[in-house]
Every structure is written in structure tokens, then in C-alpha cells.
Amino acid sequence: MLTITHTHEAGTLIDGTARGDGTADVLKAQRWRWSRNLGAWYIPRSRDQHAKTRQIDATAAALRAAGHDVEVTIDNTARPTADVEADKIARQADRAGALAAKAERRREEETAAWARHHSDVERLPPEGEPVKIGHHSEGRHRRDISRAWNSLGRSVEAGRATEEAERRATEAAATTAARYNPVTVANRIDKLEADRRKFERRRDGYTSGHGVYAMTHAPATGAGREQLEELIAETDDALTYWRGVRADQQANGTATNYGPHNVAKGDAVQVRGTWYRVLRANPKSVTVEGYFGPDRTPWQEVADHRPAKAA
């Protein structure tokens, strides 16, 4: 019996497969991947997401057609955003640590490879002595040249492997910081707020278009309404978490808190290292006097402010 399970914490996994049982080809065709860490097949990007039912149903049907018994269990209960983020930070820290250790191993291998190459070079005759054709030393000389050339290639490859490992380790170490960048956090809040308004419109009904082109969309009912209610609740939980992060960042000075309440027309604001004169202080953005005319930027990207008198 093969068992496909989905939870927000673990994602979508399949249990009961074995090497050579024919499931690998089916799962690959259905866009599953194998995880050495988990020791199981999984659907990418399924953790802390609602189940991809179409992909799961297609996989189950393909496996049954191949002669396997398949059972599917789905639990779409979402986890609190705080738990999700804590797990993400922990997993990213583990990944960054593993990549840093790998980079260190690559550096050691590179050092050893260069040492072997220098050792091989030292075996060659001094001052680039040419091969003595027909001399009893010819064979040894050619072998030493070949050995030094090959070890040079291995040392170069080791250097490239070290650079790649260090690059990946650096990127992994910066991932969490990038996710919690103040501008990124503010943009995420804006998107969550927009998503919530969209879910509410679909739940309550809305009118699109104008005049003779206006279309009325009825409120959602049944299972569709229940799903929208779940999405709204999940979005509210995420908003509570990220607004808390934003408030903490503003309290400790990591993030700015500029807006119409403290910036006015005629003031100067700094955006991405450049100062601009303020033309309008909008609710969500500031319109500045740009090089080619008025330009608008979100408030979260304003790094500093000077009142009109000081500007």
C-alpha cells in the first residue's frame, strides 16, 4: 500500500515506495522529487501550503494504473505564522551551517590539491630542463610532467569548487536577513492586505466594471465560502505576525515610520541614497520631484527625512 499524505507541517509525501518497484518513473513524471534527507518522495514547495489536489489525484491515478494500491490523506489545517517562520529560520540556519561546513571542506581539499601540485612540480628537473630524448630519464621525466599537469588541473577544479561552495554558503547565510529586510516586510504586509481585500470581495460579492459594462458577482456559498473564510483567517494570522515584526523594527530603529503624519509637501526625503523634494504625501506613497518629473515611491523605501525649513 502506498500512502500519500499532506499536512502543512510536512508538505506532501508518499510512503511505501521501494527501489525497483516502478514508482520512481511515475512520480518523476508527476513532478515529484526524491529527498535524501527525508528518505521519501515529495512535492516541491508543498510545505505550509494547501494541498495541490490536482497533482495528488493525477499521481494516485497514475500509480493505480501501474498496479499499485494508493491511499490519500489530506489535512489542510494551517499552522500559526509564528510557528511557520520559526521552522523556516531553523531550517535555513541548518542549511547555512551545512553549506558553511561544505565550503570549509572544499577549502581544505583545495589546499591539499595545490600542495600536491607543488610537490609534483618539485619533482621536475630544475629551470625547465627539456626532456632528453632517448635518455634513460625520458620516461620518468614525461611521467613527472604528466603528473604535474594533471595535479594542476585538479587543483584548479578544487579552487572552482571552493568558490561555488563559498558563494552558496554566503547566500544561505543571508537568506533569513533578506526575508526580514524592513522594506521586504512592509511590502509583504501590503500584499497580505491586498489579498485579504480580494478574499473579502469574493466572499461578500462585488461589482466589476461601470455602466452598461458592470457585472455583479454573487457572494460565495457552500464549500467555496468556507474556503474563503479559511483564507481570510490565515491571512489575518499572517498579518498579525508581520505587523508585529514591523512594529518591532520601527521601535528599534531598523525600519523607518514615515508617512503623511510626519512628512509634508516641500520637505525632503532620502530614497535609495538620494534626496528628493516632496511634491505630495500620499497615504501609501510619497510623490517626489524626480529627475524626469514627478516620481512616486512607497513610504517603506524612505530612509530619512528633512522638514522644509531644514531641507
Topology adopted by domain 256-311: SH3 type barrels. (2.30.30)
Using CA atoms of 97, 102, 108, 111 in order, give the dihedral in degrees to the nearest 10. -120
**pLDDT confidence bin for 310, thresholds 50/70/90:** low
Instruction: Look up cell 547555512; give the residue.
Output: 96
Helix (H, G, I), strand (E, B) or coil at 261: coil
Check: CB of residue 265 under 8 Å from CB of residue 239.
no
pLDDT tens, 271-284?
Answer: 999 999 999 999 99
Report d(CA 202, CA 220) in Å as an integer: 6
Check: CB of residue 73 under 8 Å from CB of residue 15.
no
Helix or strand (DSSP H, E) at 35: strand 33-35
Above pLDDT 90, what percent of the chain? 89
Average pLDDT, the chain: 94
Report d(CA 168, CA 177) in Å as an integer: 15
Whole-Å CA distances, 205 to 213, 216, 229: 17, 8, 13
pLDDT of residue 157 exceeding 70: yes
Check: CB of residue 299 under 8 Å from CB of residue 182.
no
95 Cα distance to chain centroid = 12
pLDDT at position 212 is 82
Check: CB of residue 249 under 8 Å from CB of residue 294.
no
Q: pTM (2 decimals)?
A: 0.81
pLDDT at position 211 is 84
**pLDDT confidence bin for 125, thresholds 50/70/90:** confident
User: Helix 222-251 to helix 182-204 angle, to the nearest 10 degrees?
Assistant: 160
DSSP 82-140: HHHHHHHHHHHHHHHHHHHHHHHHHHHHHHHHHHHHHHHHHTSPGGGPPP-TTSTTHHH
Report d(CA 184, CA 98) in Å as an integer: 26
pLDDT of residue 20 exceeding 60: yes
**Domains in the chain: boundaries:** 2-74, 83-179, 182-251, 256-311
Q: Which residues contact 157 (CB under 8 A, 6 or more apart)?
A: 113
Please provide residue 222's backbone torsions phi and psi, each rounded to the nearest 5 degrees: 60, -140
pLDDT at position 309 is 77
